[in-house]
Amino acid sequence: MHRMIVALACLAGLGAAASAQDYARYSQDALRAELARLSTSQTKLLVPMRDGVGLSTDVYRPRGADGDLPVIFWRTPYNFNTLSGSRLRMAVESVSRGYAFVIQNERGRYFSEGEFEILGHPRTDGYDALSWIAEQDWSNGRVGTWGCSSSAEWQLALAAQDHPAHAAMVPMASGAGIGRVGEFQEQGNWYTGGVPRNLFFVWLYGVDNPLRAQIPQGLDAETRTRISRYNDLAADKPEVDWASQIEHLPVSGMLSSLGEPPATFEEFILRTPADAGWFQGGLYHDDEGWGVPALWFNSWYDVSIGPNMALFNHVRANASDREARENQYAVVGPNTHCDFFGFGPDTVVGERDLGDTSFDTTGLIFAWFDRWLKDDRDAWDRDMPHVQYFAMGANEWRSAETWPPETSEAVRLYLHSDGGANSRYGDGRLSAEPPEGEQPADTFVYDPMVPVQTIGGGDCCNGGIVQPGAFDQRPIQVRNDVLVYTSEVLSEPMEVSGFIDAVLHVSSDAPDTDFAVKLVDVAPDGTAYIIDDTILRARYRNGYDDPQMMEEGEVYELDFTPMTSSIVFQPGHRIQVEVASSNFPKFVRNLNTGGPNYNESEGRVANNSIHHDAGHPSYIELPVVRPE
């Protein structure tokens, strides 16, 4: 403790740091100049892993700092040979506040040695990197991990190791690091409901590079730095028209048809959602422990908000010790992937004006790190709510101690029609009244060669094939293969915050097909904003380890993995549920054959039905938050 107090006293002489708003206004060149002014640096260090592989690492320490420093660690598969973007700004923010900032490339990326693997061996490489940092004579032995997307996902499996130096973490948009948690078994966002997502195919083209250039091993850091000044080892792959390429069949040839050599994609596309291979890599699964206080940042229009919030709940209930369980906090905004520093007035997400989303992301993060890395117990408000979330529709930040909020209760809205819910011009209705007696089923034709187009929703990192956010669904609701069920106009506001369940009774003349569900907010002018969506491959209705084909004439119950959001349906608005059998290019098309799908080039047309009679109710279950 004395050692830490001396270090903090020495840091007090560094002067007041510039505010987060100041640095947010800096240009990239100004930030680089500021980093050079504020810090001393060591670049292209090779940090040794237990198997002898060296990981390229840069260290920035506050200039003039005397004594041991708290450390913020950012680990990434992306290029930081020239610091830029959020990594540059966070390096400046960190050193200005008295932290050492350490950034490292995963193995197999740029100047790091070894072979690339998604998530970068967090249980071994991540652990060894923490040990190296803690042992440096400039480190106080307390390390906070921080990052968004790929720089957050590896932190999850590391947290299960409970490294003694891992004092705190800030995982932002970390869903692709989750394998299985509770109802969700998405295996790092590769699947939703057993349906592969196309985004990873695009992402792997850019990141996986088995033919990458490397410099000779054994060079000292000074020589490696000199080489890096004129060669950053960044692959320059040919541009791809992903809007066209994503339609390629068979799916297994998506990248090889571009001339790519076999790599991670060809291995992963063969796996089912329950394949043992998912449990042998870097993904975090809910049979593991957890030992680290965490400040989570998630967003409603990201790729995996459901698994993220489920993991937050899981850790609060099951972390390895009381301190870790009690110190889990979540912030959930209406933004898209990793846009946590863009909150402010006049926010538009997709096509929807969400008003003033202002939130001091940087200030909260450093209050968190000051608490755990500097032992400043006054830095973190003891009355901080465990969940801060943006309620869309009301367009304001709200707080709760649990997710869903404590006062939420389940309300079911049932699907009804006279057999003609096809398109927004049909007779589909959504009502709190359960069905009585017989109701004709709604039937539609699903042709996988003419799939329903994705418009908005939660997605990311997909080469532009889908633009995430709140977009109007009316352009696709004119199709007869889209069923639309709409409530009466609301007279009172209704807050829906939490996990949103969908249960459908279905039948098909195909041995296997998909069913996709959306929750939609219909404004008084008719604009139909997507809130969230989900999908389920019918063969997995009994579980991912027990695929079963459908038989014509049989009716099956499908219980979807939940949607997750916070939306206040305002007076004058209507609640809408949309059902189809495709949501492309967000999700890979089911070719309806009952075969492996990934290696097939021809599909068949399916005649699919949604049943909603008294014996086969179909409904959506909303977590409605009642006023206290």
Catalytic residues: 149, 302, 337
Q: What are the C-alpha distances in Å from 170 to residues 143, 157, 298?
A: 11, 14, 11
Quote the CA–CA distance of 354 and 345 in Å, as a whole number: 9
Residue 297 · residue 262 · CB < 8 Å: no
Look up residue 375 and give its amino acid: D
The token pair at 218 is: 């054994």
Strands (E) across 523-588 are located at 528-537, 556-559, 563-569, 574-580
Distance between CA 397 and CA 391 in Å, rounded? Answer: 6
Spatial CA neighbour of 391 closest among 165, 110, 625, 56: 625
CA atoms within 13 A on the CB side of 197: 25
| DSSP character string of 32-59 | HHHHHHHEEEEEEEEEEPTTS-EEEEEE
Secondary structure of 226-268 as H, E, C letters: HHHCCCCCCCCCCCCCHHHHCCCCCHHHCCHHHCCCCCHHHHH
| Contacts for 144 with CB less than 8 Å, ≥ 6 apart | 70, 71, 72, 73, 167, 168, 169, 170, 368, 369, 372, 373
Say if CB 586 and CB 459 are below 8 A apart.
yes
Phi-psi region of 370 (alpha: psi -120 to 50; beta: other; left: phi over 0): alpha
159: Cβ contacts below 8 Å, ≥ 6 apart:
166, 169, 284, 290, 291, 292, 294
Beta strands in 265-304 (DSSP E): 284-285, 294-299
Between CA 422 and CA 536 the distance in angstroms is 20
Cβ-proximal residues to 60 (8 Å cutoff; 6+ apart), any chain? 35, 39, 40, 41, 91, 94, 95, 100, 101, 102
Question: Using CA atoms, how far apart are residues 62 and 35, in angstroms rounded to an integer?
Answer: 9
